[in-house]
Amino acid sequence: MEFLDLAKRRASVRAYQKRSVERAVLEQVLEAGRIAPTACNRQPVHLLVAHTPESVAKVCSAANLYGATAAIVVCAARAQAWVRSYDGFNAAETDAAIVTDHMMLQAEALGLGSVWLCYFDPDKLRRELQIPDELEPVNILALGYSAQEAADPERHKNLRVPLEQLAEFI
């Protein structure tokens, strides 16, 4: 499948089957995250993979996973990330977002549903998963087999700003 077709087909899934995600499938998702680019190749990202009912329940106590049976908590290590010397910009969260996006698209390619979550209680998540101070939970990628109707791949015609508004040739 062409990349653009895959990207158009992907949509946030907020209803999941009870079926759990096979470990081998999760490993392919994680591999897509592993190979993602990061600033200066510093790789300041650590992934906590909740894939058992117990660990998923811990994540659920801090976030609405919409019934997903797996969740990857994407953590950034700010001290390990590249910093722009001009102004101190730290690339940790950008790097974490690229890793998340790679995994989200790989999930789609494997027939998994997903939803990217930023609305969670970070303190609660830290406590539940015993996340050390040097890691900052940035995103959660909820994963599972979708229980909702597939989204129309042409929906972006209405749901995204037109190209002329998004980009200008200079």
**Residue ranges in contact with ligand FMN by CB under 6 A:** 11-12, 115-119
Query: Between 3 and 119, whose beta carbon lies closer to ligand FMN?
Result: 119
Which residue's CB atom is positioned nearest to ligand FMN? Answer: 119
Count CA atoms within 13 Å of residue 128 on its CB side.
20
Question: If you write DSSP's letter for every residue of 95-152 in order, what string do you get?
Answer: HHHHHHHHHHHHHHHTT-EEEEE--B-HHHHHHHHT--TT-EEEEEEEEE-B-SPPPP
Minimum CB separation of residue 104 from ligand FMN in Å reads: 9
Query: Between 79 and 150, whose beta carbon lies closer to ligand FMN?
Result: 150
Minimum CB separation of residue 146 from ligand FMN in Å reads: 12
* CB-CB neighbours of 106 under 10 Å: 21
Residue 8 has which token pair? 């158009």
Minimum CB separation of residue 67 from ligand FMN in Å reads: 12
Query: Between 22 and 121, whose beta carbon lies closer to ligand FMN?
Result: 121
